[in-house]
Amino acid sequence: MPSTVRVGLVVLSTLLSAAGTVPYVIATAKRQTRPRVVTWLTWALLTAVGGAASASVGDYPSAAFSFIGTVVTSAVVIAGLRYGDRTFGRLDLVCFVLVIVGFGLWLLLDVPGIAVGAACVIDSIGLVPTLAHAWRSPREETAVTYALIAVGGGAATAAAWGTWTVTAVAYPLYVFVSMAVCWAIVVLRNARPGTSWDEDTPTCPAELAVGNFRADPND
């Protein structure tokens, strides 16, 4: 791939990722979107370390995409803590514990390829609260954010075309797939009636595994 095309794709991926969080932060400040802070904090931590792992072996397209992810996800964490839903339910707790354990083990890995692959696994655990929230309350999520980040992940994956290594491809490809899934859940669930946060809303499988999604504030 020509270097100019590669650079263009890297720039496109970072711009899309950054731009994607702008409507999310704005909607959070207006209390229209309610981010699950566990998910966004997980993303902030993992993108930082994942970017460092990719940069250490010269996979700069993947590293650039990861580092811009650190900045924008941190912005959502701050907005979520100030304006969003601070409720820490059972599902959030289970995922947070698994993320911390996985993150601690991940830091012990010396092989960049394994570290990036492990980051994708840990990231997917941290994503569960948001997937459950998108399923249960799709109107409290911002679909365009996930769409733009997914396209950014696709552009970053394309920028690494021909460099078929885990450090180059794994994380951008994971971002593309996972964010596309988030977008699809929000859009499809919004298209159905009765998808507001109430007792009659269907429970997603992840919630069934750990109990009620939100802990009783009177407990």
pLDDT for 212 beyond 70: no
| pLDDT above 90 coverage of the chain, percent | 21
User: Would you tell me how many other CB atoms lie within 10 Å of the CB of residue 54?
Assistant: 31
In tens, the pLDDT along 69-121 reads 788 889 999 998 888 767 777 888 888 888 888 777 777 777 777 777 887 88
28-37 average pLDDT score: 89
Mean pLDDT of the chain: 79
- Report the pLDDT value the prediction gives residue 189, as an integer from 0 to 100: 92
pLDDT for 53 beyond 80: no
At 48, is the pLDDT very low, low, confident or very high (cuts 50, 70, 90)? confident
pLDDT for 137 beyond 80: yes
Query: Do residues 103 and 121 touch, judged by C-beta distance below 8 A?
Result: no
- Report the pLDDT value the prediction gives residue 78, as an integer from 0 to 100: 93
C-alpha 68: how far from chain center: 13
CA–CA dist 94, 125 (Å, integer): 9
Here the tokens at position 213 are 């999604």
pLDDT for 43 beyond 90: no
In tens, the pLDDT along 163-210 reads 777 777 888 889 899 999 999 999 999 887 654 544 344 445 444 444
Cα separation values, 193 from 141, 188, 205, Å:
16, 10, 20
63 compared with 122, residue with greater pLDDT: 122
- Report the pLDDT value the prediction gives residue 193, as an integer from 0 to 100: 64
- Report the pLDDT value the prediction gives residue 204, as an integer from 0 to 100: 52
